[in-house]
Amino acid sequence: MVGIVSRPDTQEKLEILSADAQYDLACACGTNRDEGRRRGSDGRWIYPVTLPSGGRSVLFKSLISNVCTNDCKYCPLREQQDVRRCSLSPDETANVFLDYYRQRKVFGLFLSSGVIGSPDATMDRLTATARLLRRKRGFRGYIHLKVIPGASNAAIEEAVSLASAVSLNIETPGRKNLARLSSRKDYIRDIIEPIKLISRLTARGTRFARVKQTTQFIVGAAGESDAEIVKYMAGLYDRLRMQRIYFSAYQRGAGDASLDSDPAASADPTEAFVREHRLYQVDFLLRRYGFKDADIVFDPQGRLSLDADPKELWARNHPEFFPLDVNRASRLELLRVPGLGPLTVDRIVKHRRAQRIRRVGDIGRVGARLGKATPYLIF
């Protein structure tokens, strides 16, 4: 009996590569049900996303290739795995994307890839697709390019020149944690220095200031603590002007068996996703609520609580801060109140310019969130 394995056509390759793109979740995951890891209704490679600017839309998302020479223990596509490998050419990728774009099914493109031979060889494929779209097909819309760890400065600058946004996954907080996951990546040379370069290239007043930079942590694979991640988050925002930071919870069984045998690894997948959610909550506190990493409450092992959100824990640990006079407190002070978000606080500030706030009902409909805020406020 003779078995024949046919060469996959473009459609088959898209089915394979779009499914494998689920393992690269930056910009495809978020903090609520509508931002979760779900595919669009028409095509497995279309993802709902929250943009770095805060807007919502749909991206055509695919890998250029699932061939990979890296050995990242958390990744199902690492070199040692037996999976069906294939690659898309720049022409194939551009043609299929433009077909969806013209039908108004997507607004932009997110391209990533496994490492094909070398980081620069892979970057050349990614940027070749973007060049084709920009310079031959006249596409002026949104392109997000993933920067491959270890790419040269020239390859990174080329990507930045073509993209609306770029991302290079930081993966772990620190060299020691990355060493647990990969023997081939140098944390400083391949990840931190390129992130710093992107920050310089896209700084305010530069030629590429319009380009946004994001990154992503793989949560739980290296045995890192939440406190380590939050410390690095603060540095990325404060010193490198990162636009957004994303988190992807490592799921047991997806990677090397040695990760699952770690006694510190949680066997409960729900716990992993709650941890990811808590990190997103901390991210909002750092970006939008005026919190610093020193404000975040951890247990003695450096873990965030799985039972209470970090803002509420801070309030419980600082009774001297409350209650706040809703008519006199500053905007930043009000943002420390559990149940009050930026929109509600802005409404409070606007309302009290016109007239005194006398009860919680003056702020808005008293639901679960405003009900949570009530014990912390006086009028």
pLDDT in tens, 271-310: 888 999 999 999 999 999 999 999 999 999 999 999 999 9
Give the model's pLDDT for residue 34. Answer: 42
CA distances from residue 20 to 24, 31, 145, 341 in whole angstroms, order as listed: 8, 22, 16, 36
- Please count the CA atoms within 13 angstroms of the CA of 40 that sit on its side-chain side: 19
CB within 8 Å of 28: residues ≥ 6 apart: 22, 37, 47, 49, 59, 61, 110
Question: Phi, psi (5° rounding) for residue 146?
Answer: -85, 130
Residue 51 has pLDDT above 60, yes or no: no
The pLDDT of residue 79 is above 80: no
Section 99-114 average pLDDT: 88
The closest of 369, 341, 371, 368 to 359, measured between CA atoms, is: 371
Largest CA-CA distance found in the chain, in angstroms, rounded: 86
Specify the amino acid at residue 39: R
- The answer to whether residue 104 scores a pLDDT higher than 90 is no
The pLDDT score that the predictor gives to residue 19 is 60
- What are the backbone dihedrals phi and psi of residue 57, each rounded to the nearest 5 degrees, phi first? -165, -160
pLDDT of 224-279, one tens digit each?
999 999 999 999 999 999 999 999 888 776 666 677 665 555 556 688 889 999 99
Q: How far apart are CA 43 and CA 97, in angstroms?
A: 12
Residue given tokens 């002007």 in the structure block:
241
pLDDT at 68 over 90: no
Cβ atoms of residues 217 and 168 within 8 Å: no
Tens of pLDDT along 137-161? 999 999 999 999 999 999 999 999 9
- In order, the DSSP letters of 275-309 are HHHHHHHHHHHHHHS---GGG----TTSPPPSSS-
For each of the domains in the chain, give its residue range(s) and CATH number, in order of start: 10-312 (3.20.20.70), 318-378 (1.10.150.320)
Is the separation of the CB atoms in 267 and 252 below 8 Å?
A: yes
d(CA 163, CA 159): 6
Contact (Cβ atoms closer than 8 angstroms) between residue 142 and residue 109: yes
Q: Assess contact for 342 and 331: CB atoms under 8 A.
A: no
Closest by alpha carbon to 178, among 244, 223, 111, 239?
Answer: 223
Identify the residue with better confidence: 231 or 113: 231
* Positive or negative torsion for Cα 230, 234, 236, 241: positive
Contacts of residue 99, Cβ cutoff 8 Å, sequence gap at least 6:
none
Q: From CA 229, how far away is CA 217, in angstroms rounded?
A: 8
Helix (H) or strand (E) holding 193: helix 193-201
pLDDT digits (tens, 9 = 90+) for 187-197: 999 999 999 99
Outline where DSSP puts E strands in 46-185: 46-50, 56-63, 108-112, 142-146, 165-167
pLDDT(181) > 70: yes
Task: Classify residue 220 by its DSSP letter.
Answer: S
Check if the beta carbon of residue 283 is closer than 8 Å to that of residue 230: no
Mean pLDDT of the chain, nearest integer: 84
What is the tens place of the pLDDT at every residue in 5-33?
A: 334 567 666 666 666 555 554 433 333 44
Instruction: Copy the structure tokens of residue 281.
Output: 């909550």
